[in-house]
């Protein structure tokens, strides 16, 4: 394990930015909420409480419960607020990074890869106690470019967007917004975002979970759907599966034909 003093030297050399990121801020009613206000706090990879930079250390073990909501976030020990969201409305997550003084700053999704969002209904009203070991369904899948992607023709972004990275829709964004399906059954849910940086050996998983209370749309009677397909996390990915473990710097990767890992998105 690397010592924190070695790490601080490295951080000083490379400045305060890091190649990693997390999604600690929920975007609610078009406003960026504070880091960990609605999102479960995660623990530093070094295990040293208060070590800000290793907070961002990626998860590489698909069998670990750390890939549910992030490292050591199976339970919500920071007891975040629960966001009320009407089904059919828009939410988002903002990316963050830790600075050496422990405060948080905006960050970008510095790696190319696959972005998705998920919901899992808590069996009780107490979201703090829900381990995320129930059923999950996917509500967002971002592969190639969309209208939210960075415009790499913009001179400000041009230096960051090489041809192999910029084809990924979520590459280098600082946030992503999406809609909660209008027919999502009302209730208390974990709302999970996940970015995967594919690698041939250790793909990196960047998951975070917000606490949300999904309310029925005001139109009555509101239609209620049956979400699916349902999966478990961990369990949804296995080491070596070809749509998670591959060389993302492959020139031949045709992102428009690339099929992301299962499950498919539930559209409501
Ligand atoms: C998501 O929405 C927030 C709030 O409106 C905005 O600041 C942010 O730029 C949006 N993100 C993207 C990628 O469009
Ligand atoms: C992990 O979570 C527990 C609460 O479940 C907390 O007390 C502990 O400090 C956390 N560990 C680290 C390294 O932050
Ligand atoms: Cu990284």
pLDDT for residue 80: 98
How far is residue 254 from each of residues 147, 158, 170, 246, measured CA to CA in Å?
19, 21, 16, 13
149 lines ligand 2 (CB under 6 A): no
Q: Is 64 inside a domain boundary?
A: yes
Q: Is 242 inside a domain boundary?
A: no
Range of the domain at 73: 16-215
Name the CA dihedral angle for 165, 175, 181, 126, rounded to a multiple of 10 degrees: 120
Q: Which atom of ligand 2 is nearest to the CA of 48?
A: 13
Nearest alpha carbon, ligand 2 atom 5: 77
Does residue 166 register a pLDDT over 90? yes
Q: Is 235 inside a domain boundary?
A: no
Residue of 51, 54, 72 best suited for mutating to test ligand 2, as the one with most atoms within 8 Å of CB: 72
User: pLDDT tens, 106-156?
Assistant: 899 999 999 999 999 999 999 999 999 999 999 999 999 999 999 999 999
Q: Is 244 inside a domain boundary?
A: no
Q: How many domains does the chain have?
A: 1
pLDDT for residue 18: 59
Best CA proximity match to 139, nearest among 212, 219, 218, 80: 212
Q: Is 237 inside a domain boundary?
A: no
> Do residues 56 and 19 make contact, with C-beta atoms less than 8 angstroms apart?
no
User: pLDDT tens, 185-207?
Assistant: 999 999 999 999 999 999 999 99
Residue of 27, 169, 170, 171 best suited for mutating to test ligand 1, as the one with most atoms within 8 Å of CB: 27
Helix residue spans in 108-196 (DSSP H): none
pLDDT for residue 130: 98
Does residue 2 register a pLDDT over 60? no
Its sign, for the CA torsion 214, 260, 41, 110, is: negative
Does residue 7 register a pLDDT over 50? no
Q: Is 198 inside a domain boundary?
A: yes
How far is residue 5 from each of residues 2, 12, 14, 42, 143, measured CA to CA in Å?
8, 11, 14, 22, 38
CATH of the domain at 113: 2.70.50.70
């Amino acid at each position: 394990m690397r010592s924190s003093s070695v790490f601080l030297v490295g951080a000083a050399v490379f400045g305060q930015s890091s190649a990693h990121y997390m999604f600690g801020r929920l975007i609610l009613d078009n406003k960026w909420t504070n880091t960990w206000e609605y999102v479960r706090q995660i623990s530093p990879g070094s295990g040293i409480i208060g070590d800000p930079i290793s907070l961002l250390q990626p998860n590489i073990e698909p069998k670990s419960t750390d890939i549910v909501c992030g490292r050591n976030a199976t339970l919500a020990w920071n007891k975040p607020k629960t966001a009320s969201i009407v089904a059919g409305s828009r939410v988002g997550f903002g990316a963050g990074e830790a600075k050496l003084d422990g405060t948080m700053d905006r960050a970008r999704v510095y790696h190319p890869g696959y972005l998705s969002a998920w919901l899992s209904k808590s069996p009780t009203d107490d979201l703090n106690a829900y381990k995320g070991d129930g059923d999950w369904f996917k509500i967002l899948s971002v592969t190639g470019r969309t209208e939210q992607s960075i415009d790499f023709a913009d001179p400000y972004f041009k230096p960051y967007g090489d041809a192999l990275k910029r084809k990924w829709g979520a590459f280098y964004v600082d946030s992503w917004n999406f809609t909660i399906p209008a027919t999502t059954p009302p209730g208390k849910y974990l709302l999970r975002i996940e970015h995967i940086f594919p690698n041939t050996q250790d793909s990196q998983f960047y998951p975070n979970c917000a606490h949300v209370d999904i309310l029925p749309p005001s139109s009555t009677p509101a239609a209620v759907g049956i979400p699916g397909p349902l999966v478990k996390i961990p369990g949804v990915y296995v080491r070596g599966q070809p749509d998670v473990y591959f060389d993302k710097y492959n020139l031949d990767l045709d992102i428009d034909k690339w099929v992301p890992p299962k499950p498919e998105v539930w559209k409501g």
